[in-house]
A = this chain, B = another copy of it.
Amino acid sequence: MSTRLSQLFVRTLREDPSDAEVTSHRLLVRAGYIRRQAPGIFAWLPLGLRVKAKIEAIIRDEMTAAGAQEVHFPALLPREPYEATGRWTEYGEGMFRLQDRKDTDYLLAPTHEEAFTLLVKDLYSSYKDLPLTLFQIQDKYRDEARPRAGLLRGREFTMKDAYSFDSSDAGLDASYQLQRDAYERIFAKLGLSYVIVKADAGAMGGSKSEEFLHPMEAGEDTFVRSAGGYAANVEAFTTIVPDEIALEGLAEATLLDPHDTPTIATLVEHLNATQPRDAGEWTASETLKNVIVALTHLDGTREIIALGLPGDRDVDMKRVEVAFYPAEVEAAGEADFAKNPLLVKGYIGPQVLGSESESGIRYYVDPRVVSGSSWVTGANEDGVHVRDLVMGRDFAADGVYEIAQVREGDPAPDGSGPIETARGMEIGHVFQLGRKFADALGLKVLDENGKQVTVTMGSYGIGVTRILAVIAESNNDDKGLIWPDNVAPFDVHVVATGKDAVVYEVAEELVSALEGARLDVLFDDRPKVSPGVKFGDAELLGVPQIVVVGRSAGEGIVELWDRRTGERTPVPVAEAVAALTTR
């Protein structure tokens, strides 16, 4: 098949769109692949749609090969099932909600766990019907607070979402592995490098959860990895927990003389100056920092809580969000302190924290704050600190959460060495939902013994439109896009230059011959456009193989131009087809 550029609905732009923050957005708009309709909402022009269809075909083939069956759900869904699972409320402002003419509540589905669960419940009833994996390639909606970066984080976007159904945990493990393997094949075919990281299951609940991250600077996720093979996103990284220490024989807590040490650094300096010891210099990691944050619960109530962690680390608010999901989290403000006079800013100590304490403020600690660990911390009096305050003896916590910053050099939890951090973009997510949705919606089957058992589910997502942007983000140069062969909008871009009739005759023949060889050809047949503009367009559009039919056409010579390497090779026109098809 061939398409003439003179007829193609495209207009390349010299200027970057004013709202484009990332390369893929900039180039996809300039090259006429997509066009903005509203924040985070795009129209697909013919070139963009071709690339999108190729990506979808690759995903569909691998899903089918992995035994998943394609279905298609509506985007517009009724409220009730999402109410039953709690997501109607939990999703907060991120979900588009609307009412029909009868004032019945609907939503535009952000994901379809509920609908898939109910469909299987509707049709299946026995363990013999399982395992089952269903998928769809479908447009989803999320009302992002900050839609950004073009297709990387849109509000209407195409996703492949798959769901597995099993009657046993072992079955779920097998279904999960099949999907995980399929994802590896899909990303390999798409030429996308990836790191599989342990992920927090977040809003979905559930247990085993892994993200496929494509390492890239413009990525939204920070992940950590060790040379020994450990990889996790920061939210899922776990701290190696030190052993507990027996309480007997530990030094008594001692108040230090009042002093003005408003920061951890000045406190450590003060300790080294006034509390010398044989065990070496005091360090910030021996101090216990107590940070007050405010939670806004789903019902709108505001609660302040305290977080205790070693003084050499900051609180990571993203990790706090995960820990206290679905509540919203923010730093406590002056008003919060004013209401809680027991909290002495700069000198907060855990003696007055915890739901059983005088303040009643819930108190959660970093995993390093084990029973028997001794700390220098605030004494809840201006200017006063206390040393040798012991966890489990002098104070207690309501629980332990991963709320501290993760740092390069921290030890990987699996003992595979120190970690480094990198930026990546989530391109796929596989995880075990378990029985959360099946429980909420009553999806049970009869097992071998005729007993009702709740089905266990997995959920597997790939952001189709995001992947297109990620490919563009990782395949370009300063001239424009450079598509990998198997997702390029065309196989070959034939550029006819100059005004000689022979050029166009040779080009037409070549295009026919390429079509005969089953290649998809874009033919720049525009008669009154300069060679410079045509070359610039070819570079911007990014078809990987370009053929220039120019002044040597009369002698039967054309030029093969590799878009990625920039290499230009004259070949006899008779050999061009063979050269282009054997690649």
Residues of A within 8 A of B (CB): 7-11, 32, 35, 37-38, 41-46, 49, 52, 67, 69-78, 93-94, 96-98, 100-101, 106, 108, 115, 119, 122-124, 132, 134, 139, 141, 143, 145, 155-156
Across the two chains, which residue of chain B brings its CB closest to A144? B101
List residues of chain B with CB within 8 A of the CB of A75. Answer: 75, 139, 156
Q: Which of A44, A74, A115, A139 has the most CB of B within 10 A?
A: A74
A9–B69 CB distance below 8 A: yes
Task: Tell me the complex Cα distance, A281–B139, Å.
Answer: 68
A369 CB → nearest B CB, Å: 38
27 contacting pairs across A/B (C-beta < 8 A): A7-B69, A8-B69, A11-B124, A32-B123, A37-B115, A38-B74, A38-B77, A38-B78, A38-B106, A42-B74, A43-B72, A43-B73, A43-B74, A44-B71, A46-B70, A49-B70, A49-B71, A49-B72, A75-B139, A76-B108, A93-B101, A96-B100, A96-B106, A98-B108, A100-B143, A101-B143, A139-B139
Task: Tell me the complex Cα distance, A141–B69, Å.
Answer: 26
Task: Tell me the complex Cα distance, A19–B7, Å.
Answer: 48
Across the two chains, which residue of chain B brings its CB closest to A44? B72
A121 CB → nearest B CB, Å: 11
A160 CB → nearest B CB, Å: 14
B155–A76 CB distance below 8 A: yes
List residues of chain B with CB within 8 A of the CB of A72. Answer: 43-44, 49, 52
List residues of chain B with CB within 8 A of the CB of A67. Answer: 7
A443 CB → nearest B CB, Å: 14
Q: Which of A35, A37, A43, A78 has the most CB of B within 10 A?
A: A43
B73–A46 CB distance below 8 A: no
A30 CB → nearest B CB, Å: 12
Considering the complex of A and B, which 7 residue pairs feature the smallest CB-CB distances, nearest first? A98-B98, A44-B72, A11-B123, A93-B101, A38-B78, A74-B156, A41-B74
Task: Tell me the complex Cα distance, A581–B355, Å.
Answer: 77
List residues of chain B with CB within 8 A of the CB of A96. Answer: 76, 98, 100, 106
B71–A156 CB distance below 8 A: no
Name A37's contact: one of B8, B44, B77, B141 (CB within 8 Å). B77
A132–B9 CB distance below 8 A: yes
Number of this chain's copies in the complex? 2
A74–B123 CB distance below 8 A: no
List residues of chain B with CB within 8 A of the CB of A106. Answer: 38, 96
List residues of chain B with CB within 8 A of the CB of A42. Answer: 74
B134–A9 CB distance below 8 A: yes
B76–A38 CB distance below 8 A: yes
Task: Tell me the complex Cα distance, A131–B72, Å.
Answer: 35
Task: Tell me the complex Cα distance, A74–B39, Å.
Answer: 12
List residues of chain B with CB within 8 A of the CB of A132. Answer: 9
List residues of chain B with CB within 8 A of the CB of A43. Answer: 71-74, 115, 119
Across the two chains, which residue of chain B brings its CB closest to A37? B74
A4 CB → nearest B CB, Å: 11
Task: Tell me the complex Cα distance, A272–B302, Å.
Answer: 87
List residues of chain B with CB within 8 A of the CB of A35. Answer: 119, 122-123
Q: Which of A70, A93, A124, A132 has the most CB of B within 10 A?
A: A70
Task: Tell me the complex Cα distance, A37–B35, Å.
Answer: 32
B78–A37 CB distance below 8 A: yes
A347 CB → nearest B CB, Å: 40
A324 CB → nearest B CB, Å: 21
A154 CB → nearest B CB, Å: 9
B9–A76 CB distance below 8 A: no
List residues of chain B with CB within 8 A of the CB of A115. Answer: 37, 43
List residues of chain B with CB within 8 A of the CB of A78. Answer: 37-38
A9–B123 CB distance below 8 A: yes
List residues of chain B with CB within 8 A of the CB of A97. Answer: 98
List residues of chain B with CB within 8 A of the CB of A124. Answer: 11
Across the two chains, which residue of chain B brings its CB closest to A96? B98
List residues of chain B with CB within 8 A of the CB of A101. Answer: 93-94, 143, 145
Task: Tell me the complex Cα distance, A141–B122, Å.
Answer: 25
A501 CB → nearest B CB, Å: 21
A59 CB → nearest B CB, Å: 15
Q: Which of A41, A42, A132 has the most CB of B within 10 A?
A: A41
A19 CB → nearest B CB, Å: 14
List residues of chain B with CB within 8 A of the CB of A45. Answer: 71
Task: Tell me the complex Cα distance, A115–B43, Å.
Answer: 9
List residues of chain B with CB within 8 A of the CB of A37. Answer: 73-74, 77-78, 115
Name A41's contact: one of B41, B76, B156 (CB within 8 Å). B76
Task: Tell me the complex Cα distance, A77–B96, Å.
Answer: 13
Q: Give me 17 other A-B pairs in contact (C-beta within 8 A), A11-B124, A75-B75, A93-B101 excluded.
A: A7-B69, A9-B132, A9-B134, A35-B119, A35-B123, A37-B77, A37-B115, A38-B76, A38-B77, A38-B106, A43-B119, A49-B70, A74-B139, A74-B156, A75-B139, A98-B98, A139-B139
A107 CB → nearest B CB, Å: 10
A521 CB → nearest B CB, Å: 15
List residues of chain B with CB within 8 A of the CB of A93. Answer: 101
List residues of chain B with CB within 8 A of the CB of A10. Answer: 123
Across the two chains, which residue of chain B brings its CB closest to A46? B69
